[in-house]
Amino acid sequence: MTLKRTARIAGLWYLGFTLGPFYLLYVPSRTIVRNDAAATAARVLGHETLFRWGMLAETLGAAIFLGLSLALYRLFEGVDRHRARQLVALVLVSSSLGLVTVVFNAAALLVLRGGDPFGAFDDHTRAAIGMLLIRMHGQAIGINQVFWGLWLLPFGSLVVSSRFLPRWLGYWLLLDGVAWVALSVTWFLAPNYQDDLFLYLQPVFLAELAAMLWLLIVGVRERRPLATTNA
């Protein structure tokens, strides 16, 4: 398999990241009302199909993330195998945490739907428990932001060290990784400022979009073999 084809495969895996805005932004905007458990319960049950699609997309997102890491390992193992392994390890942790995150939403839906297991709870109690589980889903995403940044550090470093991708893209990815880590630290220590910081860092976060498009459209510069003398 040529290096260019390996890069295109990685780009295709990266394309799966377009699911992210759906389950991270759109689904919550349609189903969650901040600080209102009863309204959130009503919205989740009223948009149950959308809520389930969000869980499915989030599950697929974790699998796609892992597939991307393996494709990037294949692409960069000749550059620095140790850093390529670091990349895969960090993505494995993030993907595992992402799957655990989905469990909280699945449990919330189970509680909100009621039925025999929760027959002893009234509507108010079930709404409160469901809201707690949905918030735990959000808390897990906040923790996972650390790994959304950390995996970009070996990725960016590998791009910089490679001779088949532009260095500016690698430095942009490194800056993106630092930005995600900074955003996560803000979430831990000063959560009230996280939304503002997220907006300010938008240009930095576009690094992954640039990497995806570069791998898909441009690919990589193939290493040229040494010139041989004619007989």
Q: Which SS3 state, helix, strand or coil, does residue 184 take? A: helix
Residue 168 domain flag: no
Which residue has tokens 């990497």? 211
pLDDT at residue 1, rounded to an integer: 59
Burial of 34 (0-12, 13-18, 19+ CB in 10 A): exposed
Spatial CB neighbours of 221, under 8 Å, sequence gap ≥ 6:
163, 164, 165
pLDDT digits (tens, 9 = 90+) for 49-73: 999 999 999 999 999 999 999 999 9
Which residue has tokens 């290096």? 3
pLDDT digits (tens, 9 = 90+) for 9-48: 999 999 999 999 999 999 999 999 988 999 999 999 999 9
Alpha helices by DSSP H, listed for 3-80, are: 3-15, 20-21, 27-31, 37-46, 48-76
Residue 139 domain flag: yes
Residue 69 domain flag: yes
- Taking the whole predicted model, whether its pTM rises above 0.85 is answered as yes
pLDDT at residue 115, rounded to an integer: 72
Task: Enter the tokens of residue 129.
Answer: 């428990």
Average pLDDT value for residue range 194-217: 94
Buried b (16+ CB within 10 A) or exposed e, 187-213: beeeeeebeeebeebeebeebbeebbe
Residue 138 domain flag: yes
The answer on pLDDT for 227 being more than 50 is no
Return mean pLDDT, the chain: 91
Residue 112 domain flag: yes
CA nearest neighbour of 161 among 84, 95, 227: 84
Q: How many domains in the chain?
A: 1
Residue 204 domain flag: no
pLDDT digits (tens, 9 = 90+) for 74-86: 999 999 999 999 9
pLDDT digits (tens, 9 = 90+) for 145-171: 999 999 999 999 999 999 899 999 999
Q: Where in the sequence is the domain holding 91, given as residue range(s)? A: 3-144+210-218
pLDDT at residue 122, rounded to an integer: 83
